């Protein structure tokens, strides 16, 4: 299966015309393990060599443990870079938990309208995933359409497809919060918004 997944990723990179694609081949168990030293070291080498302006990774509210492990390793690798070599932004994207629950002023919205055909072709390269009974291709397109429509309940849609991300840049700053502190703040603000709305609408 790992060989199939590697081949699928190579085909997707060709379809997507990626400038580069690196496969580290870490098993999930190692990514989820405390420490992740080797993975962090490898990611730091890649970041040192590429100097990206923006890093996209998994968001810290994802419900897939391997995804969280990747995000934590990515953040730690960036923190180990010299301050002047760190990316300008780190964005945590949706996969196994949508981000429509984030307060609107904290959502990073990317308009991906008009790329439906390209996205479908890219996703179709991962047949081993889709053939297993999980229609990631349809779910991904549906989520992006839902993001566009449900973003604002009082205005016409400004786009037809939208990706949402969580801005995790504070985590890579010197003296920045820990992952737990950061997510406590994010979820706390969400809770406050929900309770404030209920309070206003139930107040006698």
Fold of 1-92: Rossmann fold (3.40.50)
**Inter-residue long-range contacts of 118-122, CB under 8 Å, 24+ positions, other chains counted:** 119/144, 121/15, 122/12, 122/15, 122/16
3-state DSSP call for residue 112?
A: coil
> Averaged over 6-20, what is the pLDDT?
94
* In the chain, where the domains are located: 1-92
Q: What is the pLDDT of residue 127?
A: 87
**How does pLDDT run across 40-55, given as a tens digit for each residue?**
999 999 999 999 999 9
Question: Taking 80 as the threshold, does the pLDDT of residue 132 lie above it?
Answer: no
pTM of the model: 0.93
**How does pLDDT run across 17-39, given as a tens digit for each residue?**
999 999 999 999 999 998 899 99
Q: What is the pLDDT of residue 35?
A: 87
């Amino acid at each position: 299966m790992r060989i199939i997944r590697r081949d699928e990723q190579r085909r997707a990179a060709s379809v997507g015309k990626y400038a580069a694609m690196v496969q580290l081949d870490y098993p999930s168990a190692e990514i989820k393990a405390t420490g992740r030293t080797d993975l962090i070291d490898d990611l730091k080498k890649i970041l040192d060599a590429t100097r990206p302006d923006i890093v996209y990774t998994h968001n810290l509210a994802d419900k897939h443990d391997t995804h969280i492990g990747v995000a934590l390793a990515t953040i730690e690798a960036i923190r180990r870079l010299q301050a002047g070599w760190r990316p300008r932004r780190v964005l945590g994207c949706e996969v196994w938990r949508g981000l429509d629950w984030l307060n609107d002023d904290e959502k990073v919205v990317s308009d991906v309208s008009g790329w439906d055909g390209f996205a479908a072709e890219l996703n179709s390269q991962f047949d081993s995933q889709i053939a297993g009974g999980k229609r990631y291709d349809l779910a991904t397109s549906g989520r992006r359409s839902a993001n566009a429509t449900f973003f604002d309940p009082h205005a016409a849609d400004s786009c037809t497809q939208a990706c949402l991300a969580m801005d995790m840049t504070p985590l890579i700053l010197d003296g920045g919060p820990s992952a737990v502190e950061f997510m406590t703040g994010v979820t706390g603000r969400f809770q406050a918004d929900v309770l404030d709305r209920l309070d206003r609408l139930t107040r006698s």
